[in-house]
Every structure is written in structure tokens, then in C-alpha cells.
Amino acid sequence: MRYVSTRGQTPPLSFQDAVLTGLAPDGGLLVPESIPDVRGELERWRTLSFQELALEIVSLFCDDIPREDLARLIERAYASFDHPAVTPMVDVGERQILELWHGPTLAFKDVALQLLGHLFEYILEARGQSMNILGATSGDTGSAAIAGVRGHHNIHIFIMFPRGRTSRVQELQMTTVADANVHALSIDGSFDDCQALMKSTFVDLDLKSSMRLGAVNSVNWARVMAQIVYYFHAGLRQRAPLTFSVPTGNFGDIFAGWLAARMGLPVERLLLATNENDILSVFFNTGVYRRGEVHQTVSPSMDIQVASNFERFLYYHCGEDASRLVSLMAEFSAKGEIRTEGPLDPLIRARSVDTRTTLATIRDTWQEHGYLLDPHTAVGVAAAETLAPGRLVICLATAHPAKFPEAVQDAIGEDLAHHPAVDALIGKPVRSVELPADLDAVKQFIREHGLTT
């Protein structure tokens, strides 16, 4: 399997090179040259464990790591999860909740980033190389990425987060890590500012080469690849046509579901759920993709306007025409808006859920079913109730409620959102570096503190 850039100006890469490259040198995102068709494998896969299924799916996209080595990497990655099923499903009223938060940082990002950390270590060891990882986070990616590579001697990680715009727990999960290879960068700006700084840094090819910069954001193909697994793992345990409801900020999670459907998983509908930052829900309802102001909400990981993975979807929407994609992205950069031609994808239905409805969904789910939702998962559940009433829907639970105790208490009126791993963070020493939302300042910090080749 080879990987090409959505912008068409990067020579095809192997899987290992795609993992280390992250963002393509031409500024595009890497995608596989072809999407495997696995319809003939579905019956055989129904009884596989999560780890066994992960090996089958990842092997389709990774042909330059021996299968036995890949199996060991997958076993190590998911040994850190606290549930034997890795991503179990529970019935909550008419809905099924797919719990993706059983990893070390209690968020769905662990499913991909625990594996990505082991892939990085394996590839770098084999090549005798080191790497500096640069990431931007709206909350959960940063802590999950840090957990995946903390303490590794051949990796330094720099995570930019928007100062004051993550939850207290999310910030503590990043800033209480004492390992010397971890650098938490508190940026004076929004997540979109952090993401723009990250992409601009990667476009500096001299810096990217000299400092061996790698990416952990979902711009890295391996992130999306790993997330495909839990759609199959959950979906193959159902016989009816499948509907998934996905709380969405950066479009990576729902894009993994879209790919699963392209591969042959019988998905009838993907419900895209946003909070008040509704650029994606507006697009799938109108065909207009328009940048707006970032609104701070009780679901901060979704407080995003420009979704980095959306470029991958646009590439396929354009019929894999890189020149057309480049034209659209240039138009968006210049005008802050694009309008697409032709019908949108019939697989995706979208809805925006406001804060009042989010809190009401947390309260009602607790009172009616005794099940506690985090605010992001509540957005997905609320969207499912509107877009698919009476239908069996698998709702992706993207974080444990203990990561957002203030929102849960606001909704229910009680201090119920706890987890031992979160409670243990309270009172720990913290360390972070405050930087302006300035490209030169970020580059200089990486030069001064990163590993050199």
C-alpha cells in the first residue's frame, strides 16, 4: 500500500514513511492509493477480539512491517486499556453507547495514539533515528499523545493547547507529566490558532527536515487508520443496517467511519453532531463551508472551526482530483468560504446541538437510565434523538465524564463525575510554557529544546 497527498505534489510514500511524515510536504494530507474492499471478510471477522480485528484491518494498510511484529505492537498498545473488550458497548435505553474511553487518558484518542506511539518507537529504532513530534490539541489529543510517547528516549513531544480553553482535567493531564521529553505549550489563542501554527511549521521544510518533525494530530494517517477498527468491532456485532452518531470537531473520527463504510461495513447512516461551532453541520446541510468565530462551550474538544481532516473528505468528494482540491483550499484560505458542487454524501446527516440541549441530555440520561455522559458524548446522543428517533443508533462515547466534572455538575447538580486516574492528578506539580500565537516563537522553542539529528 502506498500513500499519496490530497494535493498531488508529493511522490507516493510507504506506510512507514507516511507515519513519520504526518503532513505531506506539499501541505496536503496523506491517503491510501486505494481503499480495500473487505466485504468478503465480514463474516470471518465477526467473532474476532478487538486486537485480532485490529491486526486484520491495520495489515491492509501496512505492508512494510512484518505481521508478527505488528501483532506485538497492537498487543502492547491495548494492554494499557482497563477493559478486556478495549471498546465495549453498553445499552442505554434505545441507544447503544460505544465506550471509547477505557485507555490511559480516558478519551477515544487513546485508541489511535497508543498504537501510534508504538509505531513511532518501532520505526525509529529500526532506522536509528530520533523525532520531534509537534501537535495541536483542543483537549484530548494532547494528553493522549503525551501518554503514548512519554519517556521515550528517541522522541520529544511538543503539544500546543489554547490557554484557558480546555477543561481543567485536560490541562492537568498534559501539564502534570514530568518526563523530560514532554513539552506542554500554552498558546495565547484558540485551537484553530494552534492548528494553524502546527500546519505552518510543517510547511517550513528546512525546519521539518533538520528537526525531524512528526505529527500526532489526525493529519497523521495512522490516527484515522486505527479508528476504523472500532467501527468494525462494534458494527459486526449487529445484524441490522448500522447507524453511528459521532460527536465531531476535527472530522477525523467520523471520517474513519466513512472509510469503514467505503470498505464494506454495512453503514446506512453517519450522524455528524457538532456543538455551536457548527461549520461542519452547516456544510452537510447546505454545501457551504464557511469559517466563523470560535465559541467556547461545555464540550471544548469540539470548539473548532477549521477541521483539518475535512480536506480528506473533500478530496474524495472531488473524485480524487488533486487539482480541484487545491483550488478549493486556496479559495477557502483567501475567502474563508467555499461552496461545493453536486450532491453531498448521502451517508452523512448533520445537526448542531446547543449547550442547553447538551446539559439537558446529560441530566435526562442520568435520571432515566442511571448512565453518566460527558458533554461531547451528550452532543452525539442528542443529535441521534433528533435525526434518528426510534432507530437503533450506536453513539460514540468519546470521553469519560470525569474529564468534564464542571459540565456534569451543571447538568445534574451533583458532583458525580469522578475516576481514580483523574482524582490522582489533583495537587500534582504542573509545568508548561506560555507562548504567544506566533510562528517564530514556536519554531524557536522547538529548535532550542528539541532533539537534533
User: What does the H/E/C string look like for the chain?
Assistant: CCEEECCCCCCCECHHHHHHHCECCCCCEEEECCCCCCHHHHHHHCCCCHHHHHHHHHHHHCCCCCHHHHHHHHHHHHCCCCCCCCCCEEEECCEEEEECCCCCCCECHHHHHHHHHHHHHHHHHHHCCCEEEEEECCCHHHHHHHHHHCCCCCEEEEEEEECCCCCHHHHHHHHCCCCCCEEEEEEECCHHHHHHHHHHHHHCHHHHHHCCEEECCCCCHHHHHHHHHHHHHHHCCCCCCEEEEEECCCCHHHHHHHHHHHHCCCEEEEEEEECCCCHHHHHHHHCEEECCCCCCCCCHHHCCCCCCCHHHHHHHHCCCCHHHHHHHHHHHHHHCEEECCCCCCCCEEEEECCHHHHHHHHHHHHHHHCCCCCHHHHHHHHHHHHHCCCCCEEEEECECHHHCHHHHHHHHCCCCCCCHHHHCCCCCCCCCEEEECCHHHHHHHHHHHCCCC
The one catalytic residue in 109, 199, 208, 403 is 109
Q: Which domains does the chain have, with CATH numbers?
A: 89-106+222-421 (3.40.50.1100)
Q: Which residue has the higher pLDDT, 372 or 192?
A: 372
pLDDT level of residue 226 (50, 70, 90 thresholds): very high
pTM of the model: 0.92
Is 199 catalytic? The answer is no
pLDDT in tens, 261-302: 999 999 999 999 999 999 999 999 999 999 999 899 999 889
pLDDT in tens, 34-68: 999 999 999 999 999 999 999 999 999 999 999 99
pLDDT digits (tens, 9 = 90+) for 407-430: 999 999 999 999 999 999 999 999
pLDDT at 453: 65
Average pLDDT over residues 111-120: 94
